[in-house]
Amino acid sequence: MQRGIDFFAGQGYNPLMFGYILADTGTLTPAQLDRYKACYCGLCRCIGSRCGQLCRMSLTYDMVFLTLLLGSLYEPREEEKLGPCLIHPLRKRRSWQSEATEYAADLSAILSRQNCLDDWKDDRRLLRLGEAALLRRGAEAAEERLPRKAAAVRACLEELKEIEAREETSPDPGASAFGRLMGELFLWREDRWADTLRAAGEHMGRFLYLLDALEDLDADRRSGNYNPLAGMLEEGATREDVLDILVNQIASCAAMVDRLPLVQDAEILRNILYTGVWSSLQRKGDTSG
């Protein structure tokens, strides 16, 4: 299953939408695979209905993971549908949605537009401004529903911009900033599970930030663009050292998720964290070593 749609590749180091948190679909049972795909389709449909059809370009597997996680924990009522879609108009596809899907759909739209706007501010490329304009109505509606999350995204982008501007040689400040953002996004409700969800999100955020930096490292070296890992490697660290950090971060995320009382979709979530993510790590190790 391919990486989620990502049309945000800017010249600055500005990571928000990834698509790394994938299931290892080859080891899912047929029933699990059907449910995973139906969650993906449900999120895609939900983004379109809540935020506009153009915002469906913001769909990523990372938000599918968050939908499954929050749905498994809180067990909101689900609505299933069977029908064609814009991408597959001739074949009916099963999908399901819940309140968790709606939350992830709003986050997708918010992240997408803020990323486009930030790219425009950095590089003054009209394409990014045009994309932001296309996403504006749906994203602003999502921001009205989730003002705290929208504010967290803007604050993270500003912090990352400052880190890049001073060419921070350590990856820790950027990873910590993105970790705080993901911790905020994982926190759906203020309840007994809030601290565990926030911790899981923080570890995943640091993992995503560093993995994205590792993937971009060679290209950034050729272009002269800032990369959070460049200074660390110049000081003697190796790619294997970076991979060890990544392993520790996603293992810590998985440990937090294991503390939650998950039943439905628990095996899919474990597949993603214990198998699917490692496949992404292996690809980065193979292609960057």
First to last CA, the chain: 23
**pLDDT tens per residue, range 143-197:** 999 999 999 999 998 999 899 899 999 999 999 999 999 999 999 999 999 999 9
Which pLDDT does position 100 carry in this prediction?
Answer: 98
**Could you give the angle at which helices 277-288 and 194-223 cross, rounded to 10 degrees?**
20
Rounded to the nearest 5°, which phi and psi values hold at 141? -65, -40
Tokens of 141: 């509606």
| The three-state (H, E, C) secondary structure of the chain, written as one string | CCCCCCCCCCCCCCCCCCCCCCCCHHHCCHHHHHHHHHHHHHHHHHHHHHHCHHHHHHCCHHHHHHHHHHHHHHCCCCEEEEECCCCCCCCCEEEEECHHHHHHHHHHHHHHHHHHHHHHHHHCCHHHHHHHHHHHHHHHHHHHHCHHHHHHHHHHHHHHHHHHHCCCCCCHHHHHHHHHHHHHHHCCCCCCCHHHHHHHHHHHHHHHHHHHHHHHHHHHHHHCCCCCCHHHHHCCCCHHHHHHHHHHHHHHHHHHHHCCCCCCCHHHHHHHHHHHHHHHHHHHHHHHC
Band of residue 18 on the pLDDT scale cut at 50, 70, 90: low
**Average pLDDT of the segment spanning 40-58:** 89
Dist CA 38 CA 83 (whole Å): 11
pLDDT higher than threshold 80 for residue 19:
no
Tokens 């600055």 appear where?
A: 12
Q: In the CATH scheme, what is the code of domain 25-288?
A: 1.10.600
**pLDDT tens per residue, range 224-238:** 889 999 999 999 999
Asked which of 85-94, 209-218, 220-229 is least confident by mean pLDDT, the reply is: 85-94
* pTM of the entire predicted model: 0.88
**pLDDT tens per residue, range 63-90:** 999 999 999 999 999 999 998 877 777 7
Dist CA 177 CA 163 (whole Å): 10
**Average pLDDT of the segment spanning 246-275:** 96
